[in-house]
Structure 1
Amino acid sequence: MSKLLYITANPKNDIKLSKGMQIGEVFLEEFKKEQPDVEIERLHLYDMEIPEIDMDLLYARAKLSFMGYTKEQLSEAELTKLEKMHALADNFIAADYYVFVTPVWNLGAPSILKKYIDNLFIVEKTFTNTPEGPKGLLSGRKAIHIQTRGGIYSTGPMMEFEMGDRYLQKVFEFLGFERLETVVAEGMDHFPKQIPEIMAKAKEQAAEAARIMAKLPVTL
């Protein structure tokens, strides 16, 4: 049985209030049609306790990586935060498919997404260092991003300013995922009267992306 990790980065915890999560639900429903036995785990980042890379985590990682310390020599705060970080990463690694749902905020994604991703970059767990540079250890897994945008970023003067999807695509690449094309619903603030059409198109794209992803074999 495969596992799909569904990750939402939006403080709105009611699907009726989030257009991105409405599109995400269409994706999940279509995916389940193709893989009825899939295990879906939902991570609503705003409901989670996510360690921040603060002084404790910085020193905990440094002490274990190159300062010659053992876990037993870490402070209680350092060890607690480090264990929470590894627990998040282990949960992430256990999945086969990944769906991220985020809005564009101030050119990028909500900061809580970066906070979560920071917990996934663990050497010899999600990537390794080689003579040719870092290499992701999560190859064979599939990932997709569903993004909502109030403005227009696919064309025109704002095209070079969108950093939310670009960031996630680089994360996918670094960790070794096979990534699918991003599903985008954009222009909803600029063209409020066209929201029904924009949403309908995005839901169609999400359904098609789900059918494609569900048929792609995962090789771990």
Structure 2
Amino acid sequence: MSKLLYITVNPKNDIKLSKGMQIGEVFLEEFKKQQPDVEIDHMHLYDMDIPEIDMDMLYARAKLSFMGKTFDELSEAEQTQIKNMHALADRFIDADYYVFVTPIWNLGSPAILKSFLDNLFIVNKTFTNTAEGPKGLLTNRKAIHIQTRGGIYSTGPMVDFEFGDRFLRKALGFLGFELMDTVFAEGMDHFPKQIPEIMAKAKAQAVEAAKEMAKETVTA
């Protein structure tokens, strides 16, 4: 049985209020048609306690990576942070397909997504260092980003100012993922009267993307 990790990044934990989640739901419905036995694991980041790189986390990672300390030599607070980080990373790793649903805020994704991703960069677990440079270990996994945008970032003067999708794709690529083309709905703040058309187009793209992702069975 395959597993799909569905990651939503919006304080609006209500599909009626989130256009991104509406598009994401269309994707999930089509994917389940293509792979009826798929297991869906939903992470809504705003409902989770995401470990942050605070002082305890910073020193714990330093002690383990280059200061020659063992886990048992860490303080209780440091051990807790490392345990929480690895638990989150383990849950993330235990999937075959990944769907990220985010808005773009002030040129990038919500900050909680960066905090989440910080827990996934663990040397010799999700990537390793080689003589040729870093190498991602999370291979044979497919990921897609569904993003909603108030402005226009695909063309025109704002192209170089879109850092949400760009960063996520770079981060996942670094870890070894196979990335599909991003599904985005943009211009909804600029053209509110066109929202139904914009959403319909994005939902149609989500359906096709779900069919494409489900085409080949992957085993992580």
Q: Which residue of 1 aligns with 2:42?
A: 42
State the alpha-carbon separation in 1 of the partners of residues 92 and 60 from structure 2.
Answer: 21
User: What letter matches 1:158 in structure 2?
Assistant: M
Q: Which residue of 2 aligns with 1:27?
A: 27
Q: Mind listing any 5+ residue stretches in structure 2 that lack a counterpart? A: none
Indicate the SS of the match to 1:106: coil
State the alpha-carbon separation in 1 of the partners of residues 80 and 133 from structure 2.
Answer: 30
Indicate the SS of the match to 2:43: strand
Q: Which residue of 2 aligns with 1:114?
A: 114
What whole-Å deviation, never above 9, does each CA across 1:195-217 have from its counterpart, x for those lacking one?
00000000000010000001123
User: What letter matches 2:14 in structure 1?
Assistant: D
Asked if residue 136 in structure 1 is aligned to residue 127 in structure 2, the reply is: no
Query: Within 5 A, what are the aligned runs for 1:19-168?
Result: 19-168=19-168
Tell me the CA shift for residue 66 of structure 1. Answer: 1.2
TM-score, structure 1 length as denominator? 0.99
What whole-Å deviation, never above 9, does each CA across 1:164-189 have from its counterpart, x for those lacking one?
00001101210111110000000000
Aligned-residue Cα RMSD (Å) equals: 0.6
Tell me the CA shift for residue 70 of structure 1. Answer: 1.1
State the alpha-carbon separation in 2 of the partners of residues 89 and 208 from structure 1.
Answer: 29
TM-score, structure 2 length as denominator? 0.99
State the alpha-carbon separation in 2 of the partners of residues 72 and 33 from structure 1.
Answer: 48
Structure 1 segments, 4+ long, off by >4 Å, are none
Asked if residue 209 in structure 1 is aligned to residue 209 in structure 2, the reply is: yes
Indicate the SS of the match to 1:190: coil
Indicate the SS of the match to 1:145: strand
What whole-Å deviation, never above 9, does each CA across 1:79-98 have from its counterpart, x for those lacking one?
00110000000001100000
User: What letter matches 2:214 in structure 1?
Assistant: A
Indicate the SS of the match to 1:40: strand
State the alpha-carbon separation in 1 of the partners of residues 190 and 70 from structure 2.
Answer: 55
Tell me the CA shift for residue 219 of structure 1. Answer: 4.2
User: What letter matches 1:20 in structure 2?
Assistant: G
Indicate the SS of the match to 2:124: coil
Q: Which residue of 1 aligns with 2:175?
A: 175
Q: Check the 8 A contact 2:23/2:203 in 1, yes or no.
A: yes
Tell me the CA shift for residue 59 of structure 1. Answer: 0.7
Identity of aligned residues (%): 79
